[in-house]
Homo-oligomer: A and B are copies of this chain.
Amino acid sequence: MTSTTSAGQERKAPGRPRSAQADEAILDAVLALMAEGQSAAAVSIESVAAKAGVGKATIYRRWPNKEALLIDAVRCMKGPLPALGGVSAREDLIALVTANRSNRAREYGIVTACLLPELQRDPELNRMHQAVMEPRRERMREILRRGVETGEFRADLDIHLTVLMLSGPSMMLGMFGDATGVPEQDFPEKLVDALLRGASA
């Protein structure tokens, strides 16, 4: 299915050379428009084409509709899932939190939040968004369950709550940056270790 193929992968477009450069310009344009404060509803194929400096046909050759394009833009901000070392659950969690923090973390929080009303209105868009998010959540749950099995984590660990405790601070730091008082430097390691150690004396 071409609509959910990320920009970095080969697309089947017989007879047409794929242009990674155009893909990137188009996805950058989507993110720029949404990070400027345009709602998902307000972003149009026309405005994306104008911003990216390409024709509308170039966009429609790659994505069947606006919704597929928006979700692909969210996916690109997230980047690929990392290969996990498996040495310890702690190290795998740090690797995954690091991978989820793209250099577009701020845009990611804004774009995702501004997509939410659209996701609620449009079940197909919501399904596509879940298809992007769910593998990352499941990867994190897998690491946590393995850590419980090996005895690295407590046996009564609340898996879903812990996923939220790893992803929520990360999203908020991306959105508010310096105002949080938390430096980006070594954030994934500090977060994971704070979560493991606990705040109690």
Contact = CB atoms under 8 A, between A and B. Distances in A.
Interface string A10-42: 000000000000000000000000011111111
A159 to B, nearest CB: 8
Interface stretch (A57-65, A72-80, A109-117): A109-117
Interface stretch (A47-55, A96-104, A189-197): A189-197
A169 B165 CA distance: 5
A197 B158 CA distance: 12
B164 A172 contact: yes
Contact of A201 (B35, B114, B151, B163): B151
Given A37-B117, A172-B168, A160 B182 contact: yes
Contacts of A175: 112-113, 116
Number of copies of this chain that the complex holds: 2
Contacts of A35: 117
A2 interface: no
A6 interface: no
B161 A182 contact: yes
A113 B62 CA distance: 29
A68 B160 CA distance: 38
A152 interface: yes
A201 B117 contact: no
A144 to B, nearest CB: 8
Given A164-B172, A172-B168, A172-B171, A114 B37 contact: yes
A173 B21 CA distance: 36
A180 B163 contact: yes
A167 B158 CA distance: 18
Given A37-B118, A117-B110, A199-B196, A169 B164 contact: yes
Interface of A: 35-42, 106, 109-110, 112-114, 116-118, 130, 133, 147, 151-155, 157-158, 160-165, 167-173, 175-176, 179-182, 190-191, 194-201
Pairs of residues from A and B, 3 with the lowest C-beta to C-beta distance, nearest first: A198-B198, A113-B113, A168-B168
